[in-house]
Amino acid sequence: MRLEAAELYLIQLPYVRPFETSGWRETHAQRVLVALHSEGVTGWGEVVAQAAPWYSPETVETAWHVLHDIFLPAVLGQGADSPAQLFAPLAHFRGHPMARAALECAWWDLRGRQTGRSLKEMLGGVRDRVEVGVSLGIEPDLATLLGRIESFAGQGYGRVKIKIKPGWDVEVMRAARDHFPDLRLMADANSAYELEQAPILAQLDGLELLMIEQPFDHDDFLDHALAQESLQTPICLDESIRHARDARLALEIGACRVINIKPGRVGGTSEAIAIHDLCRDRGVPVWCGGMLETGIGRAHNVALAALPNFTLPGDISATDRYFLEDIAHPPFVLHAQDSTLSVPSGPGLGVDVVPHRLAKATLRHTRL
């Protein structure tokens, strides 16, 4: 297929509730959406970069710039019959994985809609439903957080992740464990700790947490390896894993026992699958992380999480956990009996952008 035209949308959607981590607080999602056009068909992708470089160095504006001025001019007019061919014109450009991932997502959606195949089918998914959890931000006080856990557990979420930071950690996790003895619980620090604070993390051993996610620097391996040696709880790396080579390094030196795979962070679907395969071959479990995506990114993540080695619940919650009104339809709804979401079976992503909702959310739009 030849890519004929593209569109970029900068959108803003209010979250149902502000989301706070050890490093930032967001009240709205700002995202860049990419639409690729070929032979009368459109495919969509979502750039998961945020308004500021909190989680990663990319932002909505760096993504807009690099897509508009560099990546899209390089791929438009070119043949793109595979992800490798799509990315070939970008081989000499560095970085900007979230912008790349949105391009690849749009390509898969386009390919699926042209061939009538679902993303799950094209990627080799083996499940019709994927197990999911919910990621809960830092709250003003413990009672509020416990109320939130109770509410989500009541809705049927079987796994709850709690954002931690120094001063909002041991007491919080212990209270969560005391109140919810049977719930699958985990903590995510988003790089808030120094190696010297490893004894704080050691106090979480014994709470039977599924894992502790990214306690140390966003680009660190060594500190994680040193801490994992004495921690019983598995460390999961998120920010540190930028591609399959990072995953290899982390596993070789024992920096983690679990990996969170986010297509945006690793530069796209194909790299996400490469990490999945590497971990599968080494017997290391993976799960699909989230970036508070709209329905576009969520549909992609749900299909990815249908691959066989995604054996732990993903950060892919139901649409109503994020937005009152998403730009995509239909919404994702939690199956309360088994804490799962259904994997769409329609062509491509299997969800559609709703034009009037997109128009309402759009801050800027351009066509190339």
Instruction: Give the shortest CB-315-to-Mg ion separation in angstroms.
Output: 8
Instruction: Give the shortest CB-144-to-ligand OSB separation in angstroms.
Output: 18
Q: Are 111 and 43 in contact (CB under 8 A)?
A: yes
Q: Are 308 and 280 in contact (CB under 8 A)?
A: yes
Whose Cβ is closer to ligand OSB: residue 241's or residue 279's?
241
What is the DSSP track for 39-67? TTEEEEEEE--BSSSSSSS-BHHHHHHHI
Q: How many residues contact ligand OSB, by CB under 6 A?
A: 11
Place of tokens 């994927």: 130
For Mg ion, which residue has the nearest CB? 238
Whole-angstrom CA distances from 274 to 23, 99, 153, 279, 304 are 29, 18, 33, 9, 12
DSSP state of 191: T
Instruction: Give the shortest CB-117-to-ligand OSB separation in angstroms.
Output: 26
> Which residues pair with residue 34 across a beta bridge?
8, 45
Taking the C-alpha atoms of residue 52 and residue 120, their distance in angstroms, rounded to an integer, is 32
Per-residue binding letters, 311-350, with ligand OSB (x by CB under 6 A): ----x-x---------------------------------
Kindly tell me which residue out of 43, 97, 289, 344 binds ligand OSB, with binding defined by CB under 6 A.
289
Active site annotation includes 165: no
Active site annotation includes 163: yes
Q: Is 270 in the site for ligand OSB (CB under 6 A)?
A: no
Q: Are 351 and 328 in contact (CB under 8 A)?
A: yes
State the binding partner of 290 from Mg ion, ligand OSB, none, CB within 5 to 8 A by kind.
ligand OSB
Instruction: Give the shortest CB-214-to-Mg ion separation in angstroms.
Output: 5
DSSP state of 332: P
- Which positions touch ligand OSB (CB under 6 A)? 55, 135, 188, 190, 238, 289-292, 315, 317
Catalytic residues, by residue number, are 163, 262
